[in-house]
Amino acid sequence: MKGIKILFAIAVLVLALAPVGAQDVTTVTMWFSEGSTLDCWGPLMLEFNDIDPSIQLEIVPQANAWDVTRTAVAGGGGPDVVRTPGPSFVYEMAQAGLILPMDTFAESMGWGDFFFDWALDLGLVDGQLYSLSDELETLVMYYNVEVFEENGWTPPDTMDELNALAAEVEAAGLTVFSHGNASWRPTNEHFVGEYWTQVAGPHKVYQALSGEIPWTDESLVEAIELLDAHMQAGWYGGGVDLYFTNDGVYRRTSLAEGSAAMNIEGSWAIRGTVDYFGESGMTWDWVPVPSHDGTDYYTIGMGNTSSINANSPHPEAAAQFLTWYFSPATQGKMLTNCLKGPAPVAIGADVMAELDPRIARLYAELSDASANDRYGYTTWTFWPPKSDVYIYEEVERVWTGEITAMEYSEGLQELFAEELAAGDIPPIPTR
Amino acid sequence: MAVLSQKKPTTVFEKLNDETWRRKFLRNVVIPWIFIAPLLLIHIYVVAIPAVQGVYMSLTDWKGVGMNVNYVGLENYRELFFEDETFGKALGNNVAWMIFFLTVPFIMALFCATQLAQVKRGGMLYRSILFIPYVLASVVTTTIWKNLLNPQKGIGAAMDNILGLENTFGVAYLGRPESALMSIAFIDNWHFWGFLMILFLAAMQSIPPVLYDAAKIDGANRWQEFRHVTLPGIRPILVFMFMMVAIWSFLAFDYIFLLTQGGPGGASEVIATQLYKNAFFRFQAGYGAAQGVVISIFAGFIILIFVTVKRRGWDI
């Protein structure tokens, strides 16, 4: 009888406490595009749930996460953690009051201790922190080591050396750059941004972004003319028309199998490069994109940003997740396990030592460039939205001979001046 | 007699007190509205209200996020028609698209439906085969054709190999400004024309056979049968589909966006792809809404033409 009483008392206690326990669990939601990225990132991010049982992360896979997030957030719903494709999108959402300023969280949770100073500045809108940048990116020139060795070539440092090498590559019956934009038309902007930086120099680009000089500046137009000349010469994918029909698979396979010699592409392509070269059995390596004067310039970009939804019922919990997610330990783990581009945080040397030396070198060089004034700007991170779309859409009209490089630059200048006057320019790290 | 002499209610009060009138009113007015009310409410909620909002947004500088909306009057329309050069080009592409789809699939569908209408055995198999592309998702169709039109490993390259030619058929049809739009139209038509054919075939099969017998007795040949019996017999569906295809031509989006995203250099840009980019990439949702309203006006204009023609006595 006594045993029954004890059991009854325990049951009553459990029943009484159960709802309290359920209410104590706060669920932080995050929407993520379905696919191989989520397959690798997902399990690692869910390790957050082991830390504190009272805050649980829920990842909701979506067919196209950004489109549905934007629609839902604009309608007063959406996930607690809002991921956007870049700072220019953050700017619009912050202006509309759809995301929260996070300065108090940054201070109380010590985000400044592990983020680089300039990286936190990227998330500022009207002086307040609205987003944290993720996936540090740059563009480099990948090349097929065996193809270079067989032909006795060395990777070029300058545009002149690239010119000379390209002639030899073509004479050998190979494609200079394995490229095409059939899978992703904004690929065009990678080259526009790179040529501006490597030909005119990052300081000129900074001046233009700041409105000090126009986009019709001689050196900037010259960069577009040089890119067009290289396009017309068939360097990119074998010809202008082929460039428009070559897809992502072509880009990877032709480099990995040796029918193309090089490929100017982002650091995000490392994972695909590793996979395709793994299948072909050949070896890849990278060098900085050749510049006019031989200086190693690296354009810096951000693949994503994270913010807190203004309608989140528990922003504090969302901020705690962000603190964990952006910590050097988590970012280091995601870099080593998934080859994810790390957030701009100070990742330990021990983590980098675990990486393929080529990948470790890439991030070390990028870090060195950013510290020594050798960094440039990627268009999708630092240009306002209308100018950004113009950059990758209208440059095709230069390549198809419809307009000249100067006309293209004039059109950009007109649009950029409007956006500059309207204050729509994303934050640019001062030099 | 008493019924005949009963006074017909005229005032509202009299009508409400009249049992016959009440029943008639309930049967003819109230019950139909009760049945239609759910659909009407849904329609108002998902079509009418967003349509009115769309028209209002077209008069603003709305960016597509938040509710920071400023009324700008007809500024978006002025910019669209007098400043935006790419809009004229996109409109021209829509017209070219419409001309293509009002001719090529109609000719193919009419020809094949006429032939299949005479097939007695195995006709269903042919119809099914020709209809299959229509049930494929646009993503599947575009992926298939992207590969088939690939200049290095597609059917063009294979033909060049067989015939010993070089870059004759194996060219980048989707990568050349002069051929991109029509290549996409060709692919979309591969998917679409089977649907038209099935509609025409169904209409042809409802034509009384006695009309063909009479035509034969009168000595009509195949062309004359088609011209004087088949075409008049299917005219309502033919004209209706003409109207629908003309309207759909201004809504063309998925095949273009999946295959070229409007490129190269805007060569395959149409109004709908421009609208999408303005609304979602350039943060010009108000401007995009103005483009949407213009598409609706074009569609309304097409409907007006057909309504006018019908009122003038055409049997459509």
Per-residue confidence (pLDDT) for residue A91, from 0 to 100: 83
Among A343-347, A425-429, B32-36, B223-227, which stretch is predicted with the lowest mean pLDDT?
A425-429
CB contact under 8 A, B264 and A95: no
**Which residues of chain A are within 8 Å of residue B64 when distances are taken between CB atoms?**
70, 74, 92
Indicate the pLDDT class of residue A96, thresholds 50, 70 and 90.
Answer: confident
Is pLDDT at B13 greater than 70 in this prediction?
yes
Average of per-residue pLDDT across B80-94: 94
Report the percent of chain A where pLDDT is more than 90: 73
Question: Pick from A390, A268, A287: which is nearest to A339 by CA?
Answer: A268
pLDDT at B212: 93
Q: What is the mean pLDDT of chain B?
A: 91
Contacts of A92 in chain B (CB under 8 A): 63-66, 283
Q: How confident is the model at residue B63 (pLDDT cuts 50, 70, 90)?
A: confident
> Is pLDDT at A15 greater than 90 in this prediction?
no
Is the pLDDT score of B7 beyond 80?
no
Quote the mean pLDDT of chain A.
91
How distant is the Cα of B264 from the closest Cα of chain A, in angstroms?
A: 6
Q: What is the pLDDT of residue B268?
A: 97
Question: pLDDT at residue A182 above 70?
Answer: yes
Q: Are strands A55-62 and A26-33 parallel, antiparallel or unpaired?
A: parallel
Per-residue model confidence (pLDDT) at position B310 = 85
Instruction: Find the CB nearest B66 among A96, A247, A397.
Output: A96
State the maximum Cα–Cα separation within chain A, in Å, rounded to a whole number: 96
A71 in contact with B, Cβ within 8 Å: no
At A5 the pLDDT is 60
* Distant-in-sequence, close-in-space partners of A257: CB < 8 Å, separation ≥ 6: A280, A282
Exposure string (b/e) for B80-98, b if CB count within 10 Å is 16 or more?
A: beeebeebeebbebbeebb
* For residue A9, pLDDT beyond 70: no
B66–A243 CB contact, under 8 Å = no
Cβ B174–A399 below 8 Å, yes or no?
Answer: no
Q: Which of B63, B175, B282 comes nearest A245 by C-beta?
A: B175
Which of B282, B284, B287 has the most A C-beta neighbours within 10 Å, making it the best mutation to test the interface with A?
A: B282
The pLDDT of residue A347: 85
Q: Cβ of B179 under 8 Å from any chain A Cβ? A: no
Position B16 pLDDT exceeds 90: no
Instruction: Assess whether pLDDT exceeds 80 at residue B1.
Output: no
- A249: contact with B, CB 8 A cutoff: no
| pLDDT of amino acid B311 | 87
B299 at A interface, C-beta within 8 A? no
Q: What integer is the mean pLDDT of A221-241?
A: 96
Within 8 A by CB and 6+ apart from B23, the residues are none
Residue pairs between chains A and B whose CB atoms are closer than 8 Å: 91
Q: What is the mean pLDDT of residues A160-166?
A: 96
B232 vs A87, higher pLDDT: B232
Beta bridge mates, A2: none
Confidence of residue A333 (pLDDT cuts 50, 70, 90): very high
User: pLDDT tier at B157 (50, 70, 90 boundaries)?
Assistant: very high
- Residues A267-287 have a mean pLDDT of 93
Band of pLDDT at residue A254, cut at 50, 70 and 90: very high
Question: What confidence tens digit (pLDDT) does each residue in A30-62 have?
Answer: 999 888 788 899 999 999 999 999 999 999 999
- Lowest mean pLDDT: which of B2-16, B104-118, B172-186, B210-224? B2-16
> Against a cut of 0.90, is the pTM above it?
no
Task: Please give the pLDDT value at position A232.
Answer: 97
The answer to whether the CB atoms of B174 and A96 lie below 8 A apart is: no
Ranking A15-24, A257-266, A408-417 by mean pLDDT, the lowest is: A15-24
CA distance A240 to chain B (A): 8
* Residues 6+ positions from B237 with CB-CB distance below 8 Å: B199, B200, B202, B203
Quote the minimal CA–CA distance from A94 to chain B in Å: 9
What secondary structure, in 3-state letters, does A182-206 show? CCCCCHHHHHHHHHHHHHHCHHHHH
Q: What mean pLDDT do residues A101-122 have?
A: 91
Contacts of A393 in chain B (CB under 8 A): 262-263, 266, 277
Contact B146 A182 (CB under 8 A): yes
- Residue B288: other Cβ atoms inside 10 A: 25
For the cut 80, the answer to whether the pLDDT of residue A19 exceeds it is: no
Q: What is the pLDDT of residues A347-367, one digit of tens each?
A: 888 888 888 999 999 988 998
Q: What is the pLDDT of residue A6?
A: 58
Provide the pLDDT for residue A4. 58
Query: pLDDT digits over B158-206, tens only?
Result: 999 999 988 889 999 999 999 999 999 999 999 999 999 999 999 999 9
Looking at the complex, does the CB of residue B89 fall below 8 Å from at least one CB of chain A? no
Q: What's the whole-number mean pLDDT along residues B16-23?
A: 82
Q: Is the pLDDT of residue A377 over 60?
A: yes
The answer to whether the bond into B264 is cis (omega within 30° of 0) is yes
Give pLDDT, residue B113: 95
Percentage of chain B beyond pLDDT 70 is 97
Strand A284-287 with A139-144, pairing: antiparallel
**Residues B236 and B315: beta-carbon distance below 8 Å:** yes
Give the mean model confidence (pLDDT) for residues B99-114: 96
Q: Minimum mean pLDDT among A164-173, A212-221, A265-274: which range? A: A265-274
